[in-house]
Structure 1
Amino acid sequence: MNAAALILAPLLGAVVGSFAATVGLRWARGEQALSGRSRCDACARPLGFSATVPIISYVRLGGACADCRTPIHPGHFAGEVLGASLAVASVAFLPTGQAVAAAAMGAVLIAAAAADAASRRLPDLASAAVAVLGLGLALLRGPAALLAGLAGALLTGAILLLLRRGFAARRGDPGLGLGDVKLTAALALWLGAATPWALALAGLAGLAQVRLAKPADGRIAFGPLLTASGWAVGLSLQAGLFGDLLP
């Protein structure tokens, strides 16, 4: 990892992560974030440069809009920190081309996680983008990884759909959202045989969250946990940390 990449990665990652979180949060509200100036979610006042510097502005403003003092959604700050962290990790463990692709995957997953956390819905467009990036990352590891990803996606999707049908028939509740199934299948194109690791990590984190947060309906947004575990396992796989165990 050269010095220039080390300096640029967290800066660019924080900017991209901020934008990704904004896209996800606005999608959850039925809005779009691809045009127009940055603005306060509460009072809609346009934000100047000093209020949009990733991480620093949030801390300096005390997590609230400078004009209306409405608290800024913490998802924006989380997206900035995660974007910077994922970019640094990508550059640290992967060659330049793969690092860019992995960081782009991280940005899409940040947007998906923000949307799911805010609305309990996962955007189909995010899952489609994950699928495309996942195929590309798998191909960079070689034909065997690509075939493993295609097989993993088909098998994972089929199993999860059968589980949803079984839970719905027995309990009247499928338990797992269809968006979660789509996102998991899309991630499986990247993860291949490592997909069960990601699902196991997300499941354990979900159980811990239910126990600690104790939601009234016993349900949580699974997307943020799935995206976090999926990216972590994917980076490990891309970096060869599984050795010869997995393609």
Structure 2
Amino acid sequence: MPVADTSILLLALDAALVALCAVAALIDWRRGILPDACNALIASVGLAASYVAGTDLVWRLVDTGIVLGLLLLLRLAYRHLRGHNGLGLGDVKFLAAATLRLGLAGLNILLLAACLTGLVEIGLRRMRGEEVTRRSALRFGPHLALGLVLALVLERAALSGL
């Protein structure tokens, strides 16, 4: 496939990921769940984009397995220590799906953006007078989705030399 065709296809796949992120964020914001169907589509499109970008898919799958395993261990440890879940399975699946596109190297931007925007949400909730405690629920899916979009934008900017 010529380079121009590859670039256009990768751009189209990344645009599809952005659209899927918007859908996932909206559903999680309204219903408090990241649907398996959204996560599966993000995983599929992300894997296809990695293939088109020429990524070694074996290593990308290894990265994803590492992320999935570590997050499941973190979820289990938190539940053991606190007696309740602190990280939803939808969030775990979303991060694993995002890793198929970003790899371990891109996940740091996603997580940084998600954590920072999550903290902003908590701050805004507190400023509105809402009581926020360590037992308060935070729908993290919209923050993860925003993080994935930001990581894609920054990756594209880095590749174009900006």
Shorter-chain TM-score bucket reads 0.7 to 0.9
- Select 2:83's aligned residue among 172, 194, 200: 172
What 5-or-longer segments of structure 2 have no aligned partner?
1-5
Q: Which runs of 4+ in 1 moved over 6 A?
A: none
Question: Matched residues in 2 for 1:117 and 1:220: separation?
Answer: 10
The one-letter code of the counterpart of 2:150 is A
1:134-213 correspondence to structure 2 within 5 Å: 134-144=46-56, 146-192=57-103, 193-213=105-125
**CA distance in 2 between partners of 1:147 and 1:240 (Å):** 26
2: CA distance, partners of 1:150 / 1:234: 19
- Other-structure match for 1:227: 145
State how far apart, in whole Å, the 1-side matches of 2:59 and 2:7 are: 22
Q: TM-score under structure 1 normalisation?
A: 0.56
Q: Gapped runs of 5+ residues in structure 1?
A: 1-93
SS in 2 for 1:184: helix
After superposition, the C-alpha distances for 1:136-161 in whole angstroms (9 at most, x for unaligned) are 111122133x3442122111111111
Aligned-pair identity in percent equals: 32
SS of the residue aligned with 1:143?
Answer: coil
Deviation at 1:236, TM superposition (A): 2.7
Partner of 1:56: none
Name which one, 1 or 2, has greater alpha-carbon Rg.
1
Which of 106, 128, 132 is the aligned partner of 2:40?
Answer: 128
RCO comparison, higher one (Cα < 8 Å, 6+): 2
Partners of 1:172 and 1:242 lie apart in 2 by 44
Cross-structure match for 1:96: 8
Please give the alpha-carbon distance, in whole angstroms, between the structure 1 residues aligned to 2:154 and 2:109: 11
- Aligned mates of 1:135, 1:240 — CA distance in 2: 20
- Structure 1 contact 166–174 (Cα < 8 Å) conserved: no
Q: Is the 8 A contact 2:113 2:150 kept in 1?
A: no
Give the distance between the partners of 2:159 and 2:122, measured in 1 at CA. Answer: 30
1:152 and 1:195 in contact (8 A); partners too: no
Give the helix-richer structure, 1 or 2.
2
Post-superposition shift, 1:240? 6.3
Retained in 2: the 8 A contact 1:157–1:182? yes
Give the deviation of 1:242 after TM superposition. 6.4
2:154 counterpart residue number: 236
Name the TM-score, length of structure 2 as normaliser. 0.83
